[in-house]
Amino acid sequence: MANLKEVKERINSVVSTQQITKAMKMVAAAKLRRAQDKITQMRPYSQKLTAILNNVSSGNEGSSDLVYAEKREVNNVLIVPVTSDKGLCGAFNTNIIKASMAAINTEFAGKNITVLPLGKKALDIFKKQDYQLVDDYANVFADVSFDAVREAAEHAMEGFTAGTYDKVVLVYNEFKNVATQVVRNEQFLPMEQEASEETSTTNVDYIMEPSREYIIQDLVPTSLKIQFYKAVLESNASEHGARMTAMDKATENAGELLKELKLMYNRTRQAAITNEILEIVAGAEALGGN
């Protein structure tokens, strides 16, 4: 059985750890609120912009000449894994790395793979892999803003139009709630125009100035950048939700461990007191015998 000093040191260590995890949970909760507000405000805008784009480009004049919708033989693939800068958020980052590697080894096996990591955790992992790496945008979460994300989106879009990449795929965590994040493997380019509920039921007749072609040329890049930014916001909210859940569980585990350690401490202390009493009694009997 451990001595009192060792048990006391372990109790103090667990108490300190519990205080840290509790503080991290509170910080993650505060950040989650702001990140959740951003993504809930972005989703309707993104969905409406996509619906307008689909409606405007659905005619014969629309989608046939879209450079971002050009489908060609896939030889060069750009994978964009979106992770966090820090750990202590459960399986959040691990799930993204696994999904990215699964896509590379199955769907894109034998293709020329380039990785554009967003987040330091993805950068650290893929630095050790034998893939072409674009590491200029890994610190995007230092300041989650549209301007920072736009640069990464423009790199992917310019690479696609130049023929450097035949396909661009985003791998990120979609935010559902605090405890649930769903890994998404989403094709970013070439564009896949899907009819939304709005466009499938109504065909809005827009008045466009100066022309349909000009509107589409301006609207499509904006829509793609918004889509890219939305994926980053989803990941950002998911990260804080995952960290809040992980730290809450860690705090609970520390509490359970403290109960066991305090019970062990009391038992060890009781055993020590009993031994001292026995020694005193034995000494008294020895003196009495003399």
Name the residue among 89, 187, 90 with its Cα closest to residue 141. Answer: 89
Label residues 56-83 b or e (16+ Cβ within 10 Å = b): bbeeeebbeebebbeeeeeebbbbbbbb
Task: Report the distance separating Cα 52 and Cα 212, nearest Å.
Answer: 12
Q: What is the DSSP string of 30-97?
A: HHHHHHHHHHHHHHHHHHHHHHHHHHHTTSTTTGGG-GGG------EEEEEEB--SS--STTHHHHHH
Active site residues: 89
Sign of CA dihedral 12, 15, 20, 21: positive
Q: Are 178 and 245 in contact (CB under 8 A)?
A: yes
